[in-house]
Amino acid sequence: MIVNKSQGQTLSQVIVYLPQPCFSHGQLYVALSRAKKSDKVTVITPQPAEHHTSPEHCMKATLFGDECDPFQKVFEYKNKYEIANAQGPFSPEYIPIADVPKTSGQKDQFGRVADVSDINIVDESTGTRPMIISAWGQLATLDCELLKDWASNPLVVSLTSLKPATHRGFSLQSSMSTTIDPAPVGEKFEALRAWAHTHPDVIADFMARKLEFMNVGAEPVPTTLDQIISKTVDNTVQEEVYTITITIPDAQLSNIIAYIGCDGCGKRCGVTANVSFFCLHCPYKKCTSTERVNFTFDAADNTGTFRLTTFGPVCEQILQLPTSKNFERKIKVPI
């Protein structure tokens, strides 16, 4: 049986015959993961494999979740293993933050339990407008430990092989091939260091705003609607949390939207409530449909008005009814 034909099957014992290197790391993973236990897998090669240790023959692979357990004693973090002949080298291309292309994709995964650290970056192309990079797994622990002195000394770092994310506006997140170099060398990096040296006020202002809102357990800052309206990407950081005192002068039942959605991602689904289904937008697919409600209204205080939309528990607090009751009111009283 060839490797491709074995995909999706679970076998009690597997013998993998490799007369030549696999086409890709994914093909090798399919072959090695057919058995329930790693000690039930045997690999046979007709002759010793030729090892390539030069940088141009290297690539990075990552195992997730349950995939890690069978190979925990076999693969070591940042170690090198031959999987196939590769071509290279390929030098990463430097891209200013302002030139990073936006995306409207909806492929971000939710519900995965993993270490994650947010890295906020600025450069001369954006001034104080930050780009947020979410580093996952070992990058969030071991590699980000190298960046811990950022508050006392601005760092110029290199991050490669990032991918777009859209679950918090637009940001970037690490991929299986991402690397973090805390001390990169080259013309572009020297230019960034020179920019940081000549613009200490810009860097200091950004750091101060980040540190102000980074304290865990910090109380939300009271504010007014006109101050919220004046916020832009240039004078706001993601960690900012505020409280506002408002009135809702014209609350209408027509402004309540009730629908059946996924209990994971919240997206609409075409099934009845409280049934299991396979969600196309969630990483683990099997989800439960639930009654969901959101409420859009015009909020007002003595400084202005602003249109807001609330979801879930906040809806229940404003409407003073549980989601099930709000759903029932909306569905039974057509507008």
Is this prediction's pTM over 0.75? no
- Cα–Cα distance between 41 and 328 in angstroms, integer? 55
What does the domain layout of the chain look like in residue ranges? 116-214, 226-230+243-332
**268 in Cβ contact with 261 (< 8 Å):** yes
pLDDT for the residue numbered 225: 92
- pLDDT per residue rounded down to tens, the chain (335 residues): 777 777 778 888 888 877 777 666 677 777 788 887 877 888 877 655 455 555 555 656 666 665 566 666 666 666 666 655 545 555 566 677 666 665 444 444 444 456 778 787 877 776 656 677 888 888 888 888 888 777 677 788 888 888 887 655 567 888 878 888 888 888 888 888 888 888 888 777 777 777 766 665 567 788 899 988 888 766 777 667 788 899 988 888 888 889 998 888 888 888 888 998 888 877 666 789 999 999 999 999 999 999 989 888 888 888 888 988 888 888 765 54
Distance CA 144, CA 181 (A): 10
CATH fold of 116-214 reads OB fold (Dihydrolipoamide Acetyltransferase, E2P) (2.40.50)
| Both tokens assigned to 146 | 């190298």
- 317 CB-near residues (< 8 Å, 6+ apart): none
Q: What is the rounded distance in angstroms from the CA atom of residue 172 to the CA atom of residue 134? A: 6
Cα torsion 179, 122, 167, 325 to 10°: value is 140
> According to the model, what pLDDT value does residue 65 have?
61
Measured at the CA of 163, the angle between CA 159 and CA 164, to 5 degrees, comes to 120
Q: Which amino acid is at 13?
A: Q
The two structure tokens encoding residue 4: 């491709």
The pLDDT value recorded for residue 37 is 80
